Amino acid sequence: MTRRSISRRSALAGGVASGLAAIGGCLSEGGILNGSGGSDGPMIGVLEDRSGEFALNGTAKWQASLLAVEELNADGGVLGEELDVYDPDPQSDNQRYQELTREALNREGVDALWAGYSSATREAIRPIINEEEQLYFYTTQYEGGVCDRTTFAMGATARQQLGAVIPYMIEEYGPRIYTIAADYNFGQISGDWVRLLADEHDAEVVGEEFIPLGETDFGSTINAIQGEDPDFIASMLVGDGHANFYEQRADNELDVPMASSTTMAQGYEHRRLDPPALEDMYVGVNYMEELETDRNAAFVDAFYEQFPDADYLNQEAQNNYFSIHMWAEAVEAAGTFDQEAVIAELEDGIEVEAPEGDVELDPETHHMTHHMRIGRADGEHEVTFSDEQYIEPSFLHEVGCNLPDDPEQTQYEPDEFYDEI
């Protein structure tokens, strides 16, 4: 069993102030130092990958979660009680996720759960979460459509991300699109969104490939793209293996610009890969470490003071961070850790001062209205941002998701509602 007690005493010994102040010496890459363990107090579950295929994405999510809990405990805890964290490594394995989710809910009795990077993981554990009526925060950007009474989706949806970057690319580069995406539910549904957005903006998808997770050889894909000669590539590749596409693109002098909802902000390919592999990559994002605001600078400084060996502070990590603070605010407003009471507070509507900017929870859909930006990598992988928009989760409104009035547990897909797909 992995169970962490995050000590206010240890935090204060490190000279912590409340909020985003740095908390020196209390956290390590292995967890919390000087934690007591075995507490009967309130506990959250944080099941995020620190090994396996998605460790690049999940490690920062776990780290930012610990930072948020440490800040809360340094400021007096939640309802005057210190939070514990149950945080074993799921190892990017969906069967292990299911086992750990059952342990978190049935043995540990967590008050709220943060779990999973991939949509496949989310859908592997959501039936368990639904059966136990567990309050669950899913923080990865994703394909969208989950309408579930106990699930709160904190990341931007495909309609928000691709809805920002695809129209931009059509206007800047032209209407011919070639889609490459991971071959599972996230990639396939994201491909549907590209087709819909193309139709809405008088563009066309001239080619489409779905790539198995872990694939590393993209020779045939690059040949197919060269044959179609698109104006830009829509890339929803996922994981460490898929990053090989970008290096092979550069090696083959495939200078077609790219649009993405997954690249850079999650797996920090612009930091890991040598230029010019990511040249002219445009991504629709709500957060990247490189955002230049005072609030984000404080967040980045606090994160790296806690985790000086961390690789990158990614988009999902920020989502974990602000949503833990948001949950704590709802608990304080409810005056109890009771999950139904906390859900009721969240459904009253809540605004959070996130590093990306002020964000607001949409009560009807349990999704966030995000600050979406276009991030672009140049030939040296320097990132700049443009075209900021505040975009609500419109797709679920269009399909009639209203969880306070109709507490369902489903996922809507765009091909069920749009003839264009």
pLDDT tens figures, 342-364: 999 999 999 999 999 999 999 99
pLDDT digits (tens, 9 = 90+) for 74-125: 999 999 999 999 999 999 999 999 999 999 999 999 999 999 999 999 999 9
**Domain architecture of the chain: domains with CATH:** 43-153+292-370+391-411 (3.40.50.2300), 159-285 (3.40.50.2300)
Alpha carbons 29 and 51: distance in angstroms, whole number: 13
Query: Percent of the chain, pLDDT > 90?
Result: 88
pLDDT digits (tens, 9 = 90+) for 238-295: 988 999 999 999 999 999 999 999 999 999 999 999 999 999 999 999 999 999 999 9
Query: What are the structure tokens assigned to 200, written together?
Result: 């809405």
Average pLDDT over all residues of the chain: 91
pLDDT band at 14 (very low <50, low <70, confident <90, very high): very low
pLDDT for residue 240: 86
